[in-house]
């Protein structure tokens, strides 16, 4: 009797795991397929837009070490501005100065770094409620009333942001920033992204 019960539980557990894997795979496929032809690695290929949306990032990680994702998003954003691919930049992130997450005001840090890359501060708009990607995308449409944007982040992040942008009726493309050179960081973010894409669909229900 105990053996039969254990076997039933095992089958249920395996079934749940397989279902979860299938759901994750389907969500990932839908998001990646939706972004095909809309994210760009080369600066020359990026279509011109009035607004560039720089998604939130901190110069330091929660562990207090240098964050390569920050540098790798700032430079391409500045490059887009300097070649005239975007005219203004919306830096959207969270202010974590009073928390243990980063201890950083992300929009201010991004603005200051862009200014150090010779982007005029008069061309930078700061948004402090970008705690999540969907908050940033929502603000583009419903707070600032922009309708055409270039999103700047890593490719996996851009793909998810583009799906959200479509939901809000935005005309959006993505310019892909380089990932971190640290292998463990890339793996961690890749794994996290699989689950983030499932949550994406729950958010948009």
What is the mean pLDDT of the segment spanning 132-136?
A: 97
What are 179-192's pLDDT values in tens digits? Answer: 988 898 889 999 99
Give the pLDDT score at 101.
57
Give CA–CA dist 77/89, Å, rounded: 8
- CATH class of domain segment(s) 2-203: alpha beta
- Residue 192 has phi, psi (to 5 degrees) of -60, -35
Helix (H) or strand (E) holding 7: helix 2-34
Which of 128, 53, 72, 66 is CA-nearest to residue 97?
128
pTM of the predicted structure, to 2 decimals: 0.91
Is pLDDT at 29 greater than 90 in this prediction? yes
pLDDT tens digit sequence for 89-129: 999 999 888 776 557 899 999 999 999 999 999 999 999 99
Residue ranges per structural domain of the chain: 2-203
Q: What's the chain's average pLDDT? A: 93
Residue 112 confidence (pLDDT): 98
Within 145-188, strands assigned E span 148-154, 171-177
| Whether residue 2 has pLDDT greater than 70 | no
Of all residues in the chain, what percent carry a pLDDT higher than 70? 97
Residue 49 has what pLDDT?
97
Burial 84-114 (b: 16+ CB within 10 A, else e): ebbebbbbbbbbbeeeeebebbbbebbbebb
Q: How many CA atoms lie within 13 A of 13 on its CB side?
A: 6
CA–CA dist 103, 96 (Å, integer): 5
């Amino acid at each position: 009797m105990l053996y039969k019960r254990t076997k039933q539980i095992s089958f249920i557990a395996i079934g749940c795991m397989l279902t979860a894997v299938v759901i994750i795979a389907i969500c990932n496929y839908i998001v990646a397929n939706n972004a095909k032809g809309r994210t760009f690695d080369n600066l020359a290929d990026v279509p011109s837009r009035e607004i560039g949306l720089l998604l939130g990032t901190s110069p330091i990680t929660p562990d207090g070490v240098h964050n390569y994702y920050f540098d790798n998003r700032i430079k391409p954003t500045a490059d887009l501005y300097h070649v005239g691919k975007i005219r203004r930049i919306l830096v959207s992130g969270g202010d974590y100065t009073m928390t243990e997450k980063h201890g950083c005001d992300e929009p201010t840090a991004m603005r200051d770094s862009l200014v150090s890359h010779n982007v005029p501060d008069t061309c930078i708009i700061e948004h402090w409620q970008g705690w999540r990607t969907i908050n940033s995308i929502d603000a583009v449409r419903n707070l600032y009333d922009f309708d055409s944007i270039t999103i700047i982040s890593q490719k996996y992040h851009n793909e998810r942001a583009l799906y959200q942008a479509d939901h809000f009726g935005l005309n959006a493309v993505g310019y892909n920033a380089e990932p971190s050179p640290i292998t463990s960081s890339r793996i961690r973010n890749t794994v996290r992204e699989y689950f983030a894409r499932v949550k994406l669909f729950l958010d948009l229900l």
